[in-house]
Structure formats: structure tokens, C-alpha cells
């Protein structure tokens, strides 16, 4: 059969020359769009909506081709994407082999029929029918429309697809024109299923099915907002298995997971469904938010849980283990302003119960001596204030290094800046301690400003090199919620003279940002100057993919809790692989934390992870020494 003969015989009202013209334009548009989308993917941009039919007609020069030598039909026929063409009456005039395969129908059966008889389009979220809306947008605007939809095929198969509708004008010899639409369908069902799975892992603990810490924080924040608006009262309880570390050493990893599941089952049988919210907030640690509950009723429930746990005989590998729990609680009232703080108060009350021998319930009282001892009362506030005023903090830098074999052999040029503090005797204070205290007392904005001012000044001493050294600086949620924070950074950039290209700002995935538009403004302004952004601790919170889609970041750091067990934990390995695939699809560079040995390094390298960070690659060292090394290297090159 000659090219295009099939069309001539099937649709008598369309001339061979016109069909050749349609296919010529459509094929060239597909080629141009494919190349353009590949270019945009590399640049991490969205497809613009200004490709008008007139522009296509002007940019594409149609040369009449004799039907005997026309290969356009064959090119379309074996094109790997699903392609359909319909006229202004919505009637199908062409579909390729891939379209027949995906849609479950044959061109010969549907030629000349309304394309809406072949498939229907619905919203991925609401499942609302969008078929006519999509076509109207494409025809009325006269521009390319690219969206994601749920597509139901002729054979009743549901697929998640990315659909592009490209309007085409074809001019005849008499200079009259006819409009057609080229549809390109890409099956993204696998990616959507992967996203759904990772979103589930982001929101819930994979072992117990309970909410994870980040999701629970969001729930508590809503309760706090409810209290301020409606003067309601809520109770936060914190539970910890007594002597859990000793128990875990005896029963092993699998046994401890089974114990966590058992405790969760006991908790679920005692709480109010659709009212109370339960979360696994740590290994052997749980928390319950009693929504709009009286204190007496909540205490009764907490005691019932503790009693049932103590009476339960946990069995692991044929041996019984006595188990007990301790609990503490705090009240959400009009004076409560922070989810982190009220959870910390409930946790401290629980720690008091643990120290008193376990199996107890302890309320949070600010004037309790044990509570004051745990919080450090005002001592931490004074320590932090003194450290900021007297520049007692020290900046360290840990390498973030490419994992590809060629790049791995090159010198370090990418670092994360870390904060260190010593006590009066010169002993190091754990960052977890002073950072937690700074968050508790809302001192992170002052701490962030100290880090930015000091690090900008130091990094400005780094000479110009190839590749450009990059230093990543962590930003807290408290600072990101400050509308004046951007102006502070811009002012320090100007006064220090540091090259913005040497700066990468890390936003931890666990921070609570009240105004996402404020954060996007900060990102846009600093990226315009050449700085980059990284989303840290990815995979640990409910908002992972929400952040990923709404924030224009350059790097994605996979949380170390997944990476450190990647050798033996299949779920962790799958999680890392899935995050890597999604990140790369979005054009991001992937960084894996906790690269502690060569085995982890090799596994990450085989997965295609771009960068690694951990003790096997390099330990943190004073920033001043790192800068000195770059200065020496620059002098060596110049000499």
C-alpha cells in the first residue's frame, strides 16, 4: 500500500495533498515539541502556553511531497508515544500503533467517529469529567494545552496520562484553512503509583501504620489553631516503652517491630475513632492528641492504656517478656503557640515518669523541679545568648561529593556548613541539644543570622575556582516565616561581597512554613542572583511531595534514616531508589546522607545517586581550614 493511500480510501472528503500537509505539520510539531520539552526538562521549566497556530504555520515551511515518497505515515505509525489527530468536528482521522495499543481500539473501526467515543478524561483528584473543558481550552486559546488527567479507555482501562493538545492550521491552495488537533498522550501511571506509595510512606509509619512525627505535628498545629479560634481544649500525651533499649537488644530488630505493632494495637482499641489522633514519634515512643477532650477523660484513657500494656505478655521467639510504659501529658490552651513546644512538654513529662521508675503517668508542670532540670529552665537561653553575642560558635564544613567514578577522584568543592559549640570546659555540646533549645526558646532567627553573617564573611575569602566551590547553609522554619529575613540576607550579600553562586541554602523538609509564598519569594530572589537551594531530610514528612512540587529547589537530600540501613533493609533501599527516580524526573540532583562505608557508597553509585555525604567520604572539619585549602590550591594553580 502506498503511503497515505489508506486515508484516501477511508475518508473521501479529505484530499491526499491535504492529508500529507496535515501529517507534515503534525510530525514536525511533534519533533519540535519533543526537543523543546527535553530542553525544558534540563532547564527545569514549564512548557509555555504561547505556541499559537499562526506561529507554527510561520515557522514550519511545508514542501509538497509526492505521495509515492511520503514517509510521514510510517514515521507516525511507529512513533513511541500515543498520537491521535482529529478534525474540527472532533472526528478521528488518524491514530498510530501505540494509540491503538494503549486505547484498545483499531483505527479502521473508529476512523471518522467522534474521538470522545474512544476515551474520556477526568480530573486526577476529583474524578470530575473534563473532556469538553480540555478541548475548549485548546481551541479557544489557540495554544498548546498540557495537563495530567485520568484517562478511561474504550476497553474501560484507567490510566494516568500527560496529555498535550496541539492546535494546527492547514492552508489549502485557495488559501482557505482548516483546523485540526494533534493529541500526544504519555502514560504516567507508573510514576503516579510511585508518588502515591512514597506519599503514603511520607505520612505514615511503615511498620505500625500510625502517623509519623511530621504528620502528627501538622495535626497538633491544627488543634492549636482551633484552640485560638474556638477556645477549645486538647490534651497531648506522650508514651515511651520502659527500658526499650534493653528489650530491643534481647528481642532484636524484628521483635522490636512486632512490639511496636502490639503497643499500637492496644492504643487503637482505647482511643476514640475519628476524634483522637495517634502517631509513632520514635522507636518505642508514641503520642496521642485527644481532641476536644476533658482532662479527666484523657487521663482515664492514658491509664487504661498503661494498664493494658503492663498486663500484656509479649511473646518473641517463644519467650515471654514483661512490658510496661510510661506516659506524660501537656494541655493545649490559649497560651500554646507551638506544636514543637507542646510535644516537647509532653515528652519531658514522660521522661520524668521514666526516671521515677516507669509504669507511671506524669503531667507537665512548668514549676516542677524535674521538668526545670530537663528544660534547663533559663540556662539554655543564657548560654545561647552569650554564644551569639561573644561569637563562641564555630563553623565546620563537611564534604558533599559526586559519586560518579571520574568526579569522585576530584578534590572536594561542595560542603554543608555545620555549627559547633563547646561548654566552659571546652567539651563539645551536642548540636541536637543547643539547636533543640534554640527552637524551644524561639532563638533560631538570631542563630541563623549569626551563621549567615559569619559564613558569608568566611566564604568570601574563597578564591574564584573551577568548579565553583559551593557551601550549603541550613535555614530554620522560624527564620523562613520572618518577612524581613530576605532583606537581611540581601544586605549581608552586599556587605560581605561573597559570590552568591557559592551559596546553597538548605530547607529541611520537616520545618513548618506558614506562608509558602513568602518562601517562594525568598527562593526566587536568591536564585536570580545565582544561589541554589536544597530540600533536606527528604522523605521524613507529610509534605515531601507538596514541597517538591511547590518549591524551585536544585538538590534533593535523602534523609539518612533511609540510607544508613540500605545494605540490609529492602524497604529503605526501595525508598531511596524511588525518591531518586522522582527527583531525577524533575531535573534535580540527588544527595544521600549517612554514607558511612564503602558498601553504602557502591550501592548508591549503582542507583545513580549524584552526591554522597557521610564519614566515609569526609568528616566535618573547621571551615577556616577548608577555605585555607582552597586558597593554597588556587596559588598552586597560578604558580
- The confidence band for 376, taking pLDDT boundaries of 50, 70 and 90, is low
The residue among 187, 211, 236 that closes a domain is 187
Task: Report how far residue 445's alpha carbon sits from residue 389's, in angstroms, rounded to the nearest whole number.
Answer: 14
Render pLDDT for 525-542 as a digit per residue (tens, 0 to 9): 999 999 999 988 775 544
- Ranking 325-334, 421-430, 464-473 by mean pLDDT, the lowest is 421-430
**How much is the pLDDT for 40?**
40
**Pairwise pLDDT comparison (34 vs 316), residue with the higher score:** 316
Residue 75 has pLDDT above 80, yes or no: no
> In the prediction, which pLDDT does 137 show?
61
Are 155 and 21 in a shared domain?
yes
Would the pLDDT of 28 be above 80? no
Instruction: Give CA torsion, residues 547, 549, 552, 558, to 10 deg.
Output: 60
Q: Does residue 154 share a domain with residue 293?
A: no
149 belongs to a structural domain: yes
User: Does residue 495 have a pLDDT over 90?
Assistant: yes
216 has pLDDT over 50 = yes
The counts of H helices and E strands in the chain are 25, 24
Query: What pLDDT score does 372 carry?
Result: 57
Predicted confidence band of residue 30 (pLDDT cuts 50, 70, 90): low
The dihedral through the CA atoms of 626, 631, 637, 639 has a sign that is negative
Q: Are 412 and 401 in contact (CB under 8 A)?
A: yes
**According to the model, what pLDDT value does residue 46 have?**
35
State the pLDDT at residue 588: 93
Residue 32 has pLDDT above 60, yes or no: no
Question: Is 346 within the bounds of a domain?
Answer: yes
Residues 6+ apart with CB under 8 A from 206: 571
Does residue 225 sit within a domain? yes
Q: Which residue has the higher pLDDT, 418 or 77?
A: 418
Is 530 a domain residue? yes
The predicted structure's pLDDT at residue 49: 38
Residue 147 grid cell: 495537563
Determine the pLDDT at residue 595. Answer: 93
Mean of pLDDT values over 608-624: 95
Which CATH number do you get for residue 588? 3.20.20.450
Given this model, what pLDDT does residue 396 score?
A: 96
Whether the per-residue pLDDT at 54 is higher than 70: the answer is no
Does residue 469 share a domain with residue 618? yes
According to the model, what pLDDT value does residue 118 have?
A: 83
Asked if residue 475 and residue 401 are part of one domain, the reply reads yes
Per-position DSSP letters for 325-368, written without gaps between them = EEEEEEEE-TT---HHHHHHHHHHHHHHHHHTTSS-EEE--TT-
Residues 338 and 403 in one domain: no
Q: What is the mean pLDDT of residues 357-381?
A: 69
Mean pLDDT of 571-583: 86
Q: pLDDT category, 579, cuts 50, 70, 90?
A: confident
The whole-number pLDDT of residue 589 equals: 95
pLDDT computed for residue 623 by the predictor: 95
Residue with cell 535555614: 475
Select from 510, 524, 435, 519 the least CA-distant residue to 481.
519
Backbone angles phi, psi at 341, to 5 degrees: -70, -45
* Domain total of the chain: 3
The answer to whether residue 439 sits within a structural domain is no
Confidence tier at 3 by pLDDT (50, 70, 90):
very low
What's the CATH number where 147 sits?
3.30.450.20
Q: How confident is the model at residue 394, as a pLDDT?
A: 94
**Average pLDDT, integer, range 376-387:** 74
Identify the band that residue 288 occupies on the pLDDT scale cut at 50, 70 and 90.
very high
Are 335 and 402 found together in one domain? Answer: no
| Percentage above 70 pLDDT, the chain | 79
What is the extent of the structural domain holding 528? 397-419+464-638
Between 418 and 134, the higher pLDDT residue: 418
Do both 508 and 595 map to the same domain? yes
Residue 305 is assigned to a structural domain of this protein = yes
What integer best gives the mean pLDDT of the chain? 80
Amino acid at each position: 500500500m502506498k503511503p497515505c493511500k489508506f486515508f484516501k480510501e477511508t475518508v473521501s472528503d479529505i484530499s491526499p495533498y491535504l492529508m500529507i500537509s496535515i501529517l507534515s505539520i503534525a510530525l514536525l510539531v511533534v519533533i519540535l515539541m519533543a526537543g523543546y520539552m527535553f530542553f525544558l526538562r534540563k532547564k527545569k521549566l514549564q512548557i509555555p502556553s504561547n505556541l499559537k497556530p499562526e506561529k507554527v504555520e510561520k515557522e514550519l515551511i511545508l514542501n509538497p511531497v509526492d505521495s509515492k515518497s511520503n514517509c510521514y505515515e510510517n514515521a507516525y505509525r511507529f512513533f513511541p508515544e500515543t498520537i491521535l489527530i482529529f478534525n474540527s468536528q472532533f472526528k478521528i482521522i488518524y491514530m498510530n500503533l501505540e494509540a491503538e495499543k494503549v486505547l484498545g481500539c483499531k483505527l479502521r473501526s473508529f476512523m471518522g467517529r467522534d474521538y470522545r467515543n474512544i476515551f474520556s478524561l477526568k480530573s486526577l483528584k476529583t474524578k470530575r469529567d473534563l473532556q469538553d473543558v480540555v478541548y475548549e481550552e485548546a481551541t479557544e486559546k489557540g495554544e498548546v494545552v498540557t495537563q495530567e488527567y485520568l484517562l478511561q479507555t474504550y476497553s474501560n482501562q484507567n490510566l494516568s496520562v500527560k496529555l498535550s493538545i496541539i492546535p494546527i492550521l492547514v492552508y489549502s491552495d485557495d488559501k482557505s484553512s482548516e483546523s485540526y488537533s494533534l493529541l500526544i498522550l504519555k502514560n504516567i501511571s507508573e510514576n503516579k503509583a510511585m508518588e502515591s506509595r512514597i506519599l503514603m510512606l511520607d505520612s505514615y509509619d511503615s511498620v505500625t501504620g500510625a502517623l509519623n512525627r511530621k504528620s502528627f505535628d501538622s495535626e497538633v498545629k491544627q488543634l492549636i489553631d482551633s484552640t485560638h479560634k474556638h477556645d477549645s481544649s486538647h490534651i497531648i500525651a506522650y508514651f515511651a516503652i520502659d527500658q526499650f533499649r534493653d528489650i530491643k537488644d534481647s528481642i532484636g530488630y524484628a521483635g522490636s517491630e512486632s512490639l511496636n505493632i502490639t503497643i499500637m494495637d492496644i492504643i487503637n482499641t482505647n482511643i476514640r475513632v475519628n476524634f483522637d489522633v495517634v502517631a509513632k514519634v520514635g522507636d518505642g515512643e508514641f503520642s496521642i492528641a485527644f481532641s476536644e477532650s476533658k482532662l479527666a477523660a484523657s487521663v482515664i484513657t492514658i491509664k487504661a492504656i498503661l494498664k493494658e500494656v503492663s498486663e500484656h505478655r509479649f511473646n518473641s521467639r517463644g519467650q515471654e517478656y514483661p512490658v510496661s510504659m510510661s506516659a506524660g501529658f501537656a494541655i493545649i490552651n490559649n497560651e500554646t503557640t507551638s506544636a514543637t513546644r507542646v510535644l516537647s512538654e509532653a515528652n519531658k513529662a514522660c521522661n520524668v515518669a521514666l526516671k521515677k521508675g516507669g509504669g507511671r503517668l506524669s503531667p507537665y508542670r512548668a514549676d516542677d523541679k524535674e521538668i526545670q532540670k530537663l528544660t534547663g529552665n533559663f540556662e539554655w537561653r543564657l548560654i545561647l545568648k552569650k554564644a551569639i553575642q561573644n561569637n563562641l560558635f564555630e563553623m565546620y564544613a563537611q564534604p558533599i561529593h559526586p559519586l560518579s567514578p571520574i568526579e569522585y577522584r576530584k578534590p572536594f568543592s561542595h560542603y554543608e556548613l555545620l555549627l559547633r559549640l563547646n561548654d566552659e570546659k571546652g567539651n563539645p555540646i551536642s548540636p541536637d541539644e543547643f539547636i533543640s533549645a534554640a527552637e524551644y526558646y524561639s532563638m533560631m532567627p538570631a542563630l541563623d543570622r549569626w551563621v549567615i553573617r559569619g559564613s558569608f564573611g568566611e566564604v568570601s575569602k574563597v578564591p574564584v575556582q573551577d568548579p565553583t566551590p559551593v557551601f550549603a547553609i541550613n535555614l530554620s522554619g522560624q527564620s523562613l516565616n520572618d518577612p524581613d529575613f530576605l532583606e537581611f540576607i540581601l544586605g549581608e550579600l552586599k556587605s560581605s561581597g561573597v559570590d552568591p553562586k557559592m551559596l546553597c541554602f538548605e530547607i529541611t523538609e520537616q520545618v513548618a512554613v506558614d506562608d509558602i509564598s513568602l518562601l517562594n519569594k525568598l527562593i526566587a530572589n536568591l536564585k536570580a542572583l545565582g544561589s541554589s537551594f536544597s530540600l533536606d531530610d527528604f522523605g521524613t514528612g507529610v509534605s515531601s511531595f507538596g514541597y517538591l512540587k511547590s518549591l524551585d529547589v536544585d538538590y534533593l537530600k535523602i534523609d539518612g534514616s533511609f540510607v544508613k540501613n540500605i545494605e540490609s533493609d529492602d524497604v529503605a533501599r526501595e525508598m531511596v531508589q524511588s525518591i531518586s527516580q522522582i527527583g531525577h524526573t524533575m531535573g534535580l540532583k540527588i544527595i544521600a546522607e549517612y554514607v558511612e562505608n564503602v558498601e553504602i557508597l557502591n550501592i548508591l553509585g549503582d542507583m545513580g545517586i549524584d552526591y554522597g555525604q557521610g564519614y566515609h567520604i569526609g568528616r566535618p572539619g573547621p571551615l577556616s581550614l577548608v577555605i585555607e585549602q582552597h586558597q593554597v590550591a588556587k596559588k598552586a594553580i597560578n604558580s
